[in-house]
Amino acid sequence: MALTKVDPVHGIDLADKEYFHVDLTTDQQPTDDTAAVVDFGGKGTVIYDTKSNFDSSNDAYLLGSSDGVYLISFNIGIATDSITSESIIHTRGGIEVATDGSTYVALKGSGKQLRDSASDNGGSVVLSGSFIYKATNATTKIRINTHTDSVSANALICATVSQLTQSTTALTDARATWLTVVRIA
């Protein structure tokens, strides 16, 4: 008899399905002008991991098939540590892949240059993307990496949208930084 997993919210049998979702649930403050892996292992909450493939020590997800096709989506909310001080010059972030399980290289991403000729800076940025990825071996891992340069304050990788604006109205608790992986074939 096969062991089945049932989605507790929707009651769907997940025995042959692969999907993963993790939210950043505590703000992360990396060093200014330095690349940083989003700390989902220490500051995040895994919502779904039907194959139990999350590598929390490396903040990475191991794709569960050497020949699977995956839909990968990410969102990264970045803001200055005090939203009233707009000091972000530029930022970039995206997905890194390690086909050997440990040597990560940039795969897909996004960026924003906020400073103009008047030396104006931004207070917050959201970087996001979705793409289809074909796995080629059984050791492929993915993770999010980001890099932000600011004038005087360190930037935050934001857990909620409340850090992205000065407004305290609707959606303040909505997640701003997350990673989703779904095997589609």
Q: What are the Cα distances from residue 173, in Å, to 30, 168, 169, 170, 177? A: 21, 10, 10, 8, 12
DSSP track, 25-79 = -S-B-PPTTS-EE--HHHHEEEEEETT--EETTTTEEE-S-SS-EEEEEEEEEEE
- Looking at the whole model, is its pTM more than 0.85? yes
105-124 pLDDT, tens digit per residue, is 999 999 988 776 566 777 78
- Mean pLDDT check: name the lowest of 53-62, 116-125, 167-176: 116-125
On the question of pLDDT at 1 being above 50, the answer is no
Per residue in 4-38, pLDDT (tens digit) is: 566 666 566 656 689 999 999 999 999 888 999 99
